[in-house]
Amino acid sequence: MWTATRYNAVSLDTSKADSWLRLTEEFLNSPLPNTVETKTEVHHSILSLLLLLSDSPSNSNYIETPRLREVEKKDDFDWATYLKEDVDSEPYPDTPEWSEEESEEEDSQQPISREDSGIQVDKTPPEDPENAGKTVPLTWTAGEPNARAWLEQHVVTPYWGSHSPRFPHSLHLHSNLLNIWDQHLYNTDPLYLPEEKAFVTETQVIRETLWLFSGVKKHFIFQHHDGKVSVRNDVVVTHLTGNCLRSVLEHIAVYGQAVFHLQKFIDEVTGHSCEPCPPGSGASNSSKKGSEPPFRTYQAFVWALYKYFATFKQELTTIEKGIICNDETVTLSSVLDRLSPHLAQIKVLHKVFCTGVAEVPPETPNVVRASHLLNTLYKAIIEYDSVGEASAQAVALLFSLWTETVRPYLEIVDEWIVHGHLFDPAKEFIIQRNKDVQVNHRDFWYATYTLYSVSETVENEEKLSDAASGSSGGGEQGPGNKQLTMVSFLKPVLKQIIMAGKSMQLLRNLDCKEAERSESSSRDAERKSLYTLFLESVQSRLGRREDSPSEEVTDQQATKRSLIKMQSIVAEHLKMNDVHDPLLAINFARLYLEQTDFHEKFTGSDVTVDRSSESVTCQTFELTLRCCLYPHIEKRYIECCGNLMKTLTKDFRLLEYLQAMRNYFLLEAGDTMYDFYTAIFDKVLEKESWQQPSFLNGQLHEAVAQRSPEDSTRLSIFLETVDQSRKKQPINDLDVLTLSYKVPWPVDIVISLECQKIYNQVFLLLLQIKWAKYNLDTLRFSDLTVATKRLEGGAAEELTPKEPIKQQIHRMFLLRVKLMHFVNSLHNYITTRILHSTGLEFQHQVQEAKDLDQLIKIHYRYLSTIHDRCLLREKVSFVKEAIMKVLNLVLIFSDRWLAGFGAWKIESIDKMESDFKNCHMFLVTILNKAVCRGSFPHLESLALSLMAGFEQC
């Protein structure tokens, strides 16, 4: 340094030498940022470095630039005049004299208010994290040049600025870990290039973390881009390395992004989202949602999320208040440790949200969205509950979320099964009303409601008819054997809900007494909703577990004994499959410990274990539904369906109409129907025309009116055009007859037109058997002998019979007896073994029917049974054809009996005998094989009866 000064002096550049000497002396006497002493080795090292970096400073033309120091301006503002603007010139006589000591004491006790000085004070409360991070606009009054600097210095360090000043911190080794690490990288990596960094304190990181979790979208440390939360690369703290801080902040950003997604969904559903959507971010979808409000299931789900975030934000506010009070040291690690239970719950909520809401396509119908969300919550509860105590908090959170989300569904069910009205304006319920079918229509029970089922493998929508799905409870399978699922928690009671809802709606439209309606309306005001009953049952079930200590000891002892007993039972059961694992037996015993029917399942004679996935998961949750929800639905189902069955039985005489169908179609009213069909048979015997609707209806009404005048107005018979290919034989002439019975509404729901078609098939078969039997019963021996005498007295010499006339007459007698035995056996089998026995079973089952759907199935099963046992099914049509041949042979035999021997050739006796023998042998063989196989046990009586009349050749 002195060498440079002498050189400048020798070079006659005294001004440069003086500047150099003065500036270096001033630098050496001034402190450095990290040192307080002067003229230290650091000062000389910096000067040496500057000389080495400079290129011959003596050769350069240097002109010193004068630097003027800022002189503090005097405050020449007239504060006295400003403060006395509103004060009168003459003080009041009662005003005490001004005392500077008293004013100083008051100023020391009370904070200074700057509202009247022209400075706008920041009134944002410290609890509002969204406004705390924003720069408050300030206005300054002339005469206060340093007010802004003073305010910024005492409010917060503007770390978010581009050139933010460094804040003072400790010089301890632990507080300078970042500098030490950077120095290490600089020494070890020759290519290391330090980057510009934004220094923040750990308190600032904590506060921005709290703001991020609170839903604030604008930060300095965290940045939002298209729904994703990222961390700035240049943010550092002095006591952590950059990578360490970044790993912690990225972990926080993951949860912040989950909070952002959930909060965005809450804003969209509640209608508070007013931010402009970027291009391609689904603006059309948001406009669609704006025009159509979200359905109630999403609203309930959002309400549950809102309540959770309210408690979560209270926790965040408590932490921020602790930071403001500064009573204790708060670190980022302690904050994350305190929030770890909430963060784990947010992770669970976000997973449920992504699976149940976010991943559903926007064009999906509401019914699919609602059922998918409820299924997601249901499966999540099962999944976390199967882990055990490790996920108890997650199960509690999901269960509370599920109870809130399921509320609209339970309210829809309650409105339907109580008032008979399916109120679902958004079409989110899995059962939807078909408005094209009125209640008083005969197809109301089958086509009024549609059950929607959603395939888990393919995102499409399947419709199942209500008749099929209501009976099976949603167990149908769609194309390709893909399992169809609906709302899982309603599966066990889906049939009861459908039956109770339809029964209640049908009851509401029947002509019930007004008194009963008024009483029901008054009782409904005091009635609790299904959702309220469910919550009360859950609370009582949870409260029952918190008994007194003495009872807990007793319960523990009982549980231990039951566990030991069940362990032995399960161990014996596992030994059946050669499994010897005591630990597995203990786990299975604990799993089934809460089931009341465990002992019956495993100790019964027929041991059946359900190995499906649902039977071994979430026993607690399923038991809660089974104990707290299903009984209320079952109770309402029994009440609704019982009232409907009583109304149909008493007020609408359902059982009487069922008996009328059996009386007239199945000919159980023998005397009445005998008068009807014998009039037709007599017309046929007399060769008169009988296929006239007026004649048929007249005979029918005349026969029925004598014993049941009301039924005579409901019964009618008409002729149908039958295919000529079916009328090959005389026995098929009766196929044109169709009997009809006008069933009033709502009885026609049970006795439908399809049922009457089956009744008509059985009616025609019985009529054909009755025709053959009537023809055989009306034959007289005298008719055949008179014809024989006429033959002997006439042209007997012209005929040369192969055998005597008496022998031919004897053969006719024998053939008549054989035919009568066959027809009587068939007639007795149909009327006694089939119609009578099956009818008694049907009557017993009707008395035990609990609901209308069960009654419809019983009635249809009864018709299907008599249809099959009467051999009318297509599978056994060859047996019916053989029977029809025999019956047709009876009609031919009767005609020839009445015509006498002269009207037909004698060889026809041989043909009739051979035809009957072949048919008889065929039927006996077929029936015996069927009886031996055990597939048709009801045919045993018919087979034995026909074998008794079978002639061995």
* Residue 485 neighbours by CB under 8 Å, 6+ apart: 375, 453, 454, 455, 456, 474
Q: Quick check: 590 and 569 in contact, CB under 8 A?
A: no
Distance (Å, whole) CA 775 – CA 764: 16
Encode pLDDT of 195-241 as tens digits: 778 888 888 899 999 999 998 888 888 888 888 888 888 888 888 88
Q: What phi and psi, each to the nearest 5 degrees, are found at residue 157?
A: -75, 125
Q: What is the pLDDT of residue 383?
A: 87
Q: Quick check: 9 and 17 in contact, CB under 8 A?
A: yes
Q: Quick check: 950 and 921 in contact, CB under 8 A?
A: yes
In this prediction, residues 50-65 reach a mean pLDDT of 72
Q: pTM for this one?
A: 0.66
Instruction: Look at residue 832 and tell me whether its pLDDT is greater than 50.
Output: yes
- Which of 59-73, 98-112, 525-539 shows the lowest per-residue confidence on average (mean pLDDT)? 98-112
Distance (Å, whole) CA 884 – CA 879: 9
Q: What is the pLDDT of residue 560?
A: 58
Pairing of strands 449-455, 484-485: antiparallel
Burial class (CB in 10 A: 0-12, 13-18, 19+), 869: buried
Between 332-353 and 202-214, two packed helices, what is the crossing angle to 10 degrees? 20
Encode pLDDT of 672-715 as tens digits: 888 888 888 888 888 888 888 889 899 899 989 888 888 888 99
Residue 484 DSSP code: E
Top mean-pLDDT range of 477-491, 785-799, 882-896: 882-896
Burial class (CB in 10 A: 0-12, 13-18, 19+), 716: middle
**How high does pLDDT run on average in the chain?**
75
* Residue 314 neighbours by CB under 8 Å, 6+ apart: none
Q: What is the pLDDT of residue 800?
A: 46
Distance (Å, whole) CA 205 – CA 237: 9
Instruction: Compute how many other C-beta atoms are within 10 angstroms of the C-beta atom of residue 101.
Output: 7
Residue with tokens 């005469």, as numbered in its chain: 143
Distance (Å, whole) CA 757 – CA 661: 12
In this prediction, residues 96-125 reach a mean pLDDT of 42
State both tokens at 465: 């008819």
Model confidence at 109, pLDDT cuts 50, 70, 90, reads: very low
Dihedral of alpha carbons 396, 397, 400, 401, sign: negative
For residues 866 and 126, which has the higher predicted lDDT (pLDDT)? 866
In this prediction, residues 639-664 reach a mean pLDDT of 91
Alpha-carbon distances of 221 from 207, 319, 458, rounded to whole Å:
10, 19, 43
- Which of 117-126, 324-333, 548-557 shows the lowest per-residue confidence on average (mean pLDDT)? 117-126
Burial class (CB in 10 A: 0-12, 13-18, 19+), 352: buried
Instruction: Look at residue 579 and tell me whether its pLDDT is greater than 80.
Output: no
Q: What is the pLDDT of residue 154?
A: 59
Q: What is the pLDDT of residue 829?
A: 87
Please spell the DSSP secondary structure of 907-948, one letter per residue. HHHHHHHHHHHHHHHHHHHHHHHHHHHTS-GGGHHHHHHHHH
In this prediction, residues 505-528 reach a mean pLDDT of 63
For residues 825 and 482, which has the higher predicted lDDT (pLDDT)? 825
- Which of 380-389, 601-610, 832-841, 924-933 shows the lowest per-residue confidence on average (mean pLDDT)? 601-610
In this prediction, residues 125-132 reach a mean pLDDT of 44
CA-based nearest residue to 206, from 303, 296, 42, 320: 320
Instruction: Look at residue 128 and tell me whether its pLDDT is greater than 60.
Output: no
CA-based nearest residue to 301, from 216, 200, 226, 372: 372
CA-based nearest residue to 620, from 592, 599, 587: 592
Distance (Å, whole) CA 414 – CA 401: 20
Model confidence at 408, pLDDT cuts 50, 70, 90, reads: very high
Instruction: Look at residue 106 and tell me whether its pLDDT is greater than 60.
Output: no
CA-based nearest residue to 209, from 199, 198, 197, 220: 220
Instruction: Look at residue 778 and tell me whether its pLDDT is greater than 70.
Output: yes
Encode pLDDT of 427-447 as tens digits: 888 888 887 777 777 777 777
